[in-house]
């Protein structure tokens, strides 16, 4: 399975969704960051939008990939897709994250329109409603976007495909840490805190404990969002919810 994570807008959670929602749940997938600014976020191949020719060649050699397309490269990359006729068919799905802010919803609509112009079918365009606390909040927070899709159904939407704000993403930003490994960590931090000799060491251990707790808490939501995307049937059959692996 090969997935592109795309939106004309920044600050919608593309890298978080690529690294923490999609990559761990697609067996054998590699991460590509199309924008060097995203390279610092963790593992993966970094390249600019103009290197799309190289990217599409690499995609032919692998079974699974997640491509995180930075906002500053989207227009250029879509233009190159138009030149390389049929190249959009290399992707099984285009995942479009969005957030409630009006500008980001407008940019999301523009993204969906451009994908449709490129020839990407509705069934291959999936929305992720980011930064909302529950599925019940989606209709109120995304009224503009959902009204557009009612008039022009050019993307697949499912209100169950949502993610809420969680500080764990900020805690692990810039590291290679993955949430499932953090959740599986069985270190007895409380015992280590008791034995620690100074306050700084105690605080460092307490931060690790807090990060593990956040990781354990967020995995079920990520699993549910991935299931709501409807990609599991096309992905490797041995995809297992990461919350279960962490138990």
- Strand partners for 67: 4, 32
Cα 95 to Cα 161: distance, rounded to the nearest angstrom? 11
Radius of gyration of the chain (CA): 19
Find out whether 43 and 28 touch, Cβ atoms under 8 Å: no
Residue by residue, DSSP assigns 105-161 as HHHHHHHHHHHHHHT--GGGEEEEEES-SSGGGHHHHTHHHHHHHHHS--SB--TT-
Using an 8 Å Cβ cutoff, are 243 and 223 in contact?
yes
Round to whole Å and give the CA distance between 84 and 100: 33
pLDDT band at 238 (very low <50, low <70, confident <90, very high): very low
C-alpha span between 13 and 203 (Å, rounded): 29
Domains of the chain, by residue range, sit at 2-169+220-237
Dihedral angle sign, alpha carbons of residues 116, 121, 124, 128: positive
Q: Which residues have a Cβ under 8 Å from the Cβ of 198 and sit 6 or more positions away?
A: none
User: pLDDT tens across 169-216, in order?
Assistant: 999 998 889 999 999 999 999 999 999 999 999 999 999 999 999 999
- pLDDT value of residue 38: 44
- CATH fold of 2-169+220-237 reads Rossmann fold (3.40.50)
pLDDT tens column, 54-73: 888 889 999 999 999 989 88
pLDDT single digits (tens) 30-50: 999 987 454 444 545 766 657
Q: What pLDDT sits at residue 48?
A: 64
C-alpha–C-alpha distance, residues 238 and 240, integer Å: 6
pLDDT band at 236 (very low <50, low <70, confident <90, very high): very low
Query: 95-130 burial string, b = 16+ CB within 10 Å, else e?
Result: bbbbbbeeebbebbbebbebbeeeebebebbbbbbb
Backbone angles phi, psi at 130, to 5 degrees: -100, 155
CA distance 75 to 80: 9
- Largest Cα span, the chain: 64
């Amino acid at each position: 399975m090969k997935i592109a994570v795309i939106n004309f807008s920044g600050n919608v959670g593309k890298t978080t969704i690529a690294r923490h929602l999609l990559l761990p749940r697609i067996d054998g997938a590699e991460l590509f960051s199309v924008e060097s600014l995203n390279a610092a976020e963790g593992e993966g191949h970094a390249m600019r939008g103009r290197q799309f020719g190289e990217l599409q060649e690499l995609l032919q050699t692998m079974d699974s990939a997640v491509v995180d397309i930075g906002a500053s490269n989207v227009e250029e990359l879509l233009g190159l897709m138009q030149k390389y006729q049929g190249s959009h068919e290399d992707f099984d799905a285009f995942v479009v994250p969005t957030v409630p802010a009006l500008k980001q919803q407008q940019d999301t609509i523009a993204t969906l329109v451009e994908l449709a112009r490129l020839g990407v079918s509705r069934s291959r365009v999936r929305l992720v409603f980011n930064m909302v606390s529950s599925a019940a909040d989606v209709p109120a927070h995304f009224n503009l976007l959902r009204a557009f899709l009612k008039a022009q159904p050019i993307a697949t939407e499912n209100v169950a495909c949502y993610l809420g704000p969680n500080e764990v993403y900020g805690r692990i930003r810039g590291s290679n840490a993955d949430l499932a490994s953090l959740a599986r960590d069985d270190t007895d931090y409380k015992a280590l805190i008791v034995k620690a000799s100074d306050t700084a060491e105690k605080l460092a251990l307490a931060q690790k404990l807090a990060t593990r707790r956040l990781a354990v808490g967020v995995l079920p939501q990520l699993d549910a969002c991935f299931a709501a995307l409807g990609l599991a049937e096309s992905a490797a059959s041995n995809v297992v919810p990461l919350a279960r692996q962490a138990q």
